[in-house]
Chain A
Amino acid sequence: MARILENEKANYKNVMVFAEQRDNKLMPVVFELLGEGKKLADKLGVKLTAALIGSDVDKLADELFSHGADIVYVTDNPALKEYTTDGYAKVISTMIDQVKPEIVLMGATHIGRDLAPRVSARVNTGLTADCTNLEIDDDGKLLMTRPAFGGNIMATIVCPNHRPQMSTVRPGVMKKAEASEGKKGEKVTVKVDFSENDIRTKVLEVIKQTKSSVDIQAAEIIVSGGRGLGKKEGFELVQKLADKLGGVVGASRAVVDLGWIDHDQQVGQTGKTVRPKIYIACGISGAIQHIAGMQDSEYIIAINKNPDAPIFKVADYGIVGDIYEVIPELINALDKAE
């Protein structure tokens, strides 16, 4: 009953990305969705559109246009100032009903993963979570690939008989759209009215926690530490090397679980996906869950005592040795090279 007929599919057209904003600033993943969405739209020969929702967000449309959006659907309402599931689900569902996109992409953020399933149940379509690869097949269907079973296997999912085809996309994986200044597009206002009981949760406060750590997803060089460091203090040495290279410190899940370092710095399946220019893994054995989060780095360097550690299978350069000997010597060598 929920599925749609073959001849109805043609009514669904264009790719829509959710232009998630917080404090009226577009999230980094939006530019990744625009980059990926453009690729899909070009392949299908359709338009790239964006759904912009919030209060006083109108001016963000230009940024979406310059990063590739052809049409921006805007719902601007004071009731939408803070993200609420009820408020945003109502708007996105209305937009989907009205403009019928064939593909809807959202960032797999804490907001996207709250909103997308709610919407998929409401508009009666499938949803694929946390995708790391999207492609269009020969029939024009969206192929959504994602890790499952802790990253041990990859699954390619299709949504053949329902529209739109929806997916949340893992932040940090897709390439960001480049800006082309002055590119314009069409802005369409979608009017959604709210009555008092439409939004059942009340956001009392939003608290930002300033972390001492830097954003590892934005870093060009990451030096990561794992259980092989042997002790929490080992991260001082890792930090030293990171400082020397102008990079930041990352970590494996094992040491985050041990409480040696903050979860914010965790790379991998249950942490962050990174693709820096240089990734140096120190004392990280290379569990599949970790590799899933860093294998797209441009250059991977592994330092590990155990020559059979799986991390060496993905490393461009490997050094078999003791972290506490290799890192100081590496810092020396960097000093000399200056």
Chain B
Amino acid sequence: MNIIVCLKQVPDTTELKIDPVTGTLIRKGVPSIINPDDKNALEEALKLKDKYEDVKITVLSMGPAQAEEALREALAMGADDTILLSDRAFGGADTWATSETLAAAIRKIGNYDIIFAGRQAIDGDTAQVGPQIAERLNLPQVTYVQSFDIKDGKVTVKRALEDGYEIIEVNTPVLLTTIKELNTPRYMSVNGIFTCYGEGKYKVWGLNDIDVDVTNIGLKGSPTQVKKSFTPEQKGAGEILKGTTKEVTTLLVSKLKEKHLI
């Protein structure tokens, strides 16, 4: 069984701060991590590898050179092969152009049974790239996968809904997007850390390595454009009520009454 895992290196958004003077994002010193949902995608592939003998896991990522770190980590967790799509021509892509690029790379890898991808990346929170890859490869998809099982090439998954879940059956090849409820990702193994820098386990592909229409990729190939970005407006601070606990609570109740809120 051949499995492809799509994985992205992202800034840890819980560590992001806004520069109070310029109002822009401070990226300096913010750690880069494997996107959490993508770690669940990799873990599910690794679980299959634990269970069956003939499983090969290829991890695919697109990003700048520093994303190598995330792919080495994936190797240390147990992946067999990793490929980083990295080229100036790929940069600035929206989800439409990103999925075009990733789909081209997946076609080149070829011969896959399952593609696992995290539901969404914490930097963009779009959840769009997975389904868009599936469309380009003409694969069935199931998103928000919270449990997974495979028997004789038939996949059965639970797909999370807001108020419950669905049980869905689908044949391979298929693309699945994963959520954190699916599993608990393992840590890198000591042996994995020793071998993750081994020869041939990490490849970089550029524009010339994949078959893709250059007008459909990168910033220029992206249908959507960022017109502007800004820090969210916060409404002005209100009044801090002063006094003893008894005084302030009584005051609060009378203020709410005054406004007919209670």
Binds A, one of B51-59, B199-207, B231-239: B231-239
- Residues 51-62 of chain A: 1 if any B CB is under 8 Å from the residue's CB, otherwise 0? 000000000000
Q: A121-B136, A206-B164 are in contact. Are A201 and B144 (CB under 8 A)?
A: no
Flag whether A118 is at the interface (Cβ < 8 A): yes
Min CB gap B94→A, angstroms: 6
**How far is it, in angstroms, between the C-alpha of A245 and the C-alpha of B250 when the chains are bound?**
15
A6 at the interface (CB under 8 A from B): no
Q: Is the CB of A117 within 8 A of B131?
A: yes
Interface pair A277/B261, CB less than 8 Å apart: yes
Q: Is A219 an interface residue (CB 8 A)?
A: no
Q: Are B224 and A127 interface neighbours, CB within 8 A?
A: yes
Interface size on A, residues (CB 8 A): 86
| Cβ-closest chain A residue relative to B14 | A150
- Cβ of B184 within 8 Å of any chain A Cβ, yes or no, is no
A117, A128, A206, A326: the one contacting B166 at CB < 8 Å is A206
The answer to whether A121 and B123 have CB atoms under 8 Å apart is no
Q: A125 vs B123: C-alpha distance in the bound complex, in angstroms?
A: 22
Nearest opposing residue in chain B for A82, CB measure: B166
Q: Say whether chain B's binding surface is mostly helix, strand, loop, or mixed.
A: mixed
Which residues on the B side are within 8 Å of A319 (C-beta)? 240-241, 248-249, 252
Q: How many angstroms between the C-alpha atoms of A2 and B228 in the bound complex? A: 24
B2 within 8 A of A: no
Do A2 and B216 touch (CB < 8 A)?
Answer: yes
Residue on A with the closest CB to B215?
Answer: A1
Contacting pair B241 A122 (CB below 8 A) = no
Q: What per-residue 1/0 map shows which CB atoms of A135-159 lie under 8 Å from chain B?
A: 0000000010001111111111111
By the criterion CB–CB under 8 Å, are A157 and B238 in contact? no
With an 8 Å Cβ cutoff, the count of chain B residues facing the other chain is 80
Within the complex, which residue of A208, A312, A326, A336 is in contact with B164, where a contact is CB–CB below 8 Å?
A208
Instruction: Assess whether A155 is in contact with B162, with CB atoms less than 8 Å apart.
Output: no
Q: In the bound complex, do residue B170 and residue A202 qualify as a contact, i.e. CB atoms below 8 Å apart?
A: yes
Q: What is the CB-to-nearest-CB distance from A21 to chain B, in angstroms, rounded to a whole number?
A: 13
Q: Which of A295-338 contact B (CB under 8 A)?
A: 295, 298-301, 307, 312-321, 325-326, 329-330, 332-334, 336-337
Is there contact, CB below 8 Å, between A207 and B164?
Answer: yes
Residue from the list B141, B224, B259 in contact with A118, Cβ < 8 A: B141
Does residue B82 face the partner (Cβ distance < 8 Å to A)?
Answer: no
Asked whether any CB of chain A lies closer than 8 Å to the CB of B151, the reply is no
Q: Tell me which of B16, B141, B169, B238 contacts A149 (CB under 8 A).
A: B16
- Given known contacts A158-B227, A337-B254, A337-B257, A203 and B241 CB-to-CB distance under 8 angstroms: no
CB atoms of B248 and A321 under 8 A apart: yes
B231 contacts A153, C-beta separation under 8 Å: yes
Q: Does A159 contact B135, Cβ atoms closer than 8 Å?
A: no
* B246: Cβ under 8 A from any A Cβ: yes
Q: Nearest-CB distance from B50 to chain A (Å)?
A: 26
**A202 touching B168 in the complex, CB below 8 Å, given contacts A129-B125, A333-B250:** yes
> With a CB–CB cut-off of 8 A, which chain A residues contact B254?
337
For residue A66, CB closer than 8 A to chain B, the reply is: no
Within 8 A of A (CB), among B209-241: 213, 215-216, 221-232, 234-235, 237-241
Would you call B107 an interface residue if the criterion is a C-beta within 8 Å of the partner chain's C-beta atoms? no
Do B141 and A110 touch across chains, with their CB atoms under 8 A apart?
A: no
A162 beta carbon closer than 8 Å to chain B: yes
Confirm or deny: A184 has a beta carbon within 8 angstroms of a beta carbon on chain B: no
A33-51: which have CB < 8 Å to B?
A: none
Q: Within 8 Å of chain B (Cβ to Cβ): is A265?
A: no
Q: How far is the CA of A333 from the CA of B244 in the complex (A)?
A: 13
Q: Which residues does chain A contribute within 8 Å of B125, judged by CB atoms?
A: 129-130, 147-148, 150, 269
Q: Can you report 25 A-B residue pairs in the complex whose CB atoms are below 8 A from each other? A: A2-B223, A85-B141, A85-B142, A114-B131, A117-B132, A118-B134, A124-B223, A129-B95, A143-B227, A153-B229, A153-B230, A160-B225, A201-B142, A204-B166, A206-B166, A295-B232, A314-B235, A314-B237, A316-B239, A317-B241, A319-B249, A329-B249, A332-B249, A334-B253, A337-B262
